[in-house]
Amino acid sequence: MSNLVNIKIDGRPMQAEAGMNLVDVAKQNGIYIPTLCYFKELNPLATCRICTVKINGRETTGCTVAVSEGMDIEVNTAELLDNRKAIIEMLYAEGNHFCPSCEKSGNCDMQNLGYDMGITVTRYPHVFSDKIVDFNPKRMIMESNRCILCKRCVEEVKTKDGKDVFSFVQRGVKTRVHIDYEQEAKLSEAEALHAMNICPVGAILVKGMIQEQPFGERKYDLLGKDILPQVKEDLLRATEDGKFIVATTSLAGCFGCHMSLLDIDTDLLDVLEIVEFNKSPLTDIKKFSKQCHIGLVEGGCANSENVEVLREFRKKCDILVGFGECAIMGGIPAMRNFVSLKECLEEAYINGVTTEVGADVIPNHEDIPKLLNNVYPCNEVVKIDYYIPGCPPNAQHIWKVVKSILLGEEFSIAHDEFKYD
């Protein structure tokens, strides 16, 4: 064992075999370097940049580094942790990741990294670019909305005569992975499944084989670590009778988040000890009668009324909490962002199979709210202070967050409570 080298990771000296991959060395020593595109020691792809570490003061990707004598490696500095989080957030903003409707949800590497890093929302505005879902290949479906261009499939999946099945086409933000139909048809069932399995997200799907595992037993549901959310700066002060005022609303959502609110059953009585509801569907109070401590917002903005309500909430509530995927990133309603509004309305009111024969009117009246061109996440209209992801979020989780914000308590979110779907 003469080829051992001395290295330091986050100040901890250790020995490793010279030339070994840094990600693996760290793993052996109990240090986790998050990775996304990396799946094989040979031929690292270094496309996602999540494993960026500092070696002797310079940033580089951990997956491309072979350890050598004297390396001083930083992995878990505040800056590097934030860089990683930022990159995952970029991917969420760039792609169209609707976890609640994704077959890979729960088995998705990127989603799991999101949980691990405690990402409740992206710091970047969602791009909502229209991408193609290709159903043409014989066995597979290419769901470009979810593709993160990690290049695993491009490098790994080849036909027996050595030709590429998946290829990058175009350049820059327009880059997509496309399937070569002729080559794809040559793949065996097992090879096609392999392609689906190495896809870290839900971009490559095999027709008829999408739910490989029984629903409910998912790879990442119980793994991972619990996270501490950021701590707020100012404490809220209760009213004179010791209660906090809370308002809730459902914008472009399905009311599912509100249903979840009620799922704490008898604990609701405890909640009522410290909380008084103002404007909310729960109390059926239509108008704010006072300034509130917290406003809970379900759903994104799909029409002019949503925008007005949201703006009013911003004015009347000291703290706004977006809860549920729709409030955070538009959710299922935002799937219409890829179809023109005209087409949506005509499908709903004129051409759809459930419309009345001869129907030719799209409802319109000055009293009916106007539909927006796109569905917007709440934070693209007003500032949102906190986010509770989930579709819907778990009831205990919601109240834990609300209570902690009200009382200024720190708490940890259990990994299995933190969900995007």
Partner 1 sequence: MLNNNIDRSKLMDVLWKVHRKKRHIGHDDISKIANQFEMSRMELEGVVTFYHFYHRIPSGKCTIYLNDSIVSELSGRKEVLEAFEDALGIKLGQVTADGRFGLFKTPCIGLSDQEPSCLINLKPFTNLTPEKVYKIIDRLKEGDKIREICDEPETNIRYTPEEDRTVFFKPYTRFSGLSNLHRYSPEEIIELVRESKLTGRGGAFFPTGLKWQFCRQNEADIRYLICNADEGEPGTFKDRVLLQKYPETLIEGMILAGYAIGASVGAIYLRAEYMYLKKRLEALLQDYRNNGCLGKDIKAKQAFDFDIYIHMGAGAYVCGEETALIHSMEGKRGEPSTKEYFPVEKGFKGKPTVVNNVETLCAVPRILNMGLSKYLELGTELTPGTKLLSVSGDCERPGLYEIEWGMKLRDFLKLVGAKNTKFALFNGYAGECLSPIDFDRDISGENMIGDHELFQFKDRDHYSARMSGVGLRAGGSVMIFNEERDVLGTLKNVADFFVHESCGICVPCRTGNFLLNKKIDRIKLGHGEEKDLQEIKEWSKIIKTTSRCGLGKASSNALNDAIFKFPEVFGTVLSENTDFNKAFNLKDATDHYDQIINEMTADYE
DSSP result, 83-138: HHHHHHHHHHHHTT--GGG-TTTTS-HHHHHHHHTT-SS-SSPP------EE--SS
- CA separation for the pair 98, 126 (Å, rounded): 12
Nearer of residues 246 and 301 to partner 1, judged by Cβ: 301
What are the phi and psi torsion angles at 3 (to 5°)?
-95, 30
Q: How far is the CB of 141 from partner 1 (least distance, A)?
A: 16
- CA separation for the pair 62, 73 (Å, rounded): 9
Q: How far is the CB of 55 from partner 1 (least distance, A)?
A: 12
User: Smallest Cα–Cα separation from 189: which of 207, 215, 216?
Assistant: 207
Residue 246, strand partner residues: 277, 294
Q: How far is the CB of 129 from partner 1 (least distance, A)?
A: 10
Nearer of residues 39 and 411 to partner 1, judged by Cβ: 39
Q: How far is the CB of 233 from partner 1 (least distance, A)?
A: 15
DSSP result, 29-65: TT-----SS---SSS----S-TTEEEETTEEEEGGGP
User: Smallest Cα–Cα separation from 120: which of 269, 15, 227, 213?
Assistant: 227
Nearer of residues 150 and 395 to partner 1, judged by Cβ: 150
Nearer of residues 91 and 141 to partner 1, judged by Cβ: 91
Nearer of residues 10 and 79 to partner 1, judged by Cβ: 79
Q: How far is the CB of 178 from partner 1 (least distance, A)?
A: 5
Q: What is the Cα gyration radius of the chain?
A: 24
Q: How far is the CB of 407 from partner 1 (least distance, A)?
A: 23
69, 121, 160, 336 from 72: Cα distances, Å: 9, 33, 43, 49
- Binding footprint of partner 1 on the chain (CB under 8 A): 44-49, 52, 59-61, 64, 66, 79, 82-83, 86-87, 90-91, 93-94, 123-125, 127, 148-149, 151, 159, 161-175, 178-180, 182-183, 304, 307, 311, 314, 340-342, 345, 361-362, 364, 370-374, 376, 380-383
Nearer of residues 15 and 340 to partner 1, judged by Cβ: 340
Instruction: Give the number of residues written for the chain.
Output: 421
Nearer of residues 127 and 222 to partner 1, judged by Cβ: 127
Nearer of residues 87 and 402 to partner 1, judged by Cβ: 87
Quick one: how far is CA 8 from the chain centroid?
34
- CA separation for the pair 94, 113 (Å, rounded): 16
DSSP result, 168-198: EES-GGG-EEEE-HHHHTTS-HHHHHHHHHH
Residue 413, strand partner residues: 227
Q: How far is the CB of 24 from partner 1 (least distance, A)?
A: 15
- List all residues 6 or more positions away from 65 whose beta carbon is below 8 Å from its beta carbon: 21, 22, 53, 55, 71
Q: How far is the CB of 81 from partner 1 (least distance, A)?
A: 12
Contact indicator for 398, 328 with CB cutoff of 8 Å = no
Residue 280, strand partner residues: 285
Nearer of residues 120 and 337 to partner 1, judged by Cβ: 337
Q: How far is the CB of 76 from partner 1 (least distance, A)?
A: 15
Nearer of residues 87 and 401 to partner 1, judged by Cβ: 87
Q: How far is the CB of 397 from partner 1 (least distance, A)?
A: 25
Nearer of residues 190 and 361 to partner 1, judged by Cβ: 361
Q: How far is the CB of 26 from partner 1 (least distance, A)?
A: 17
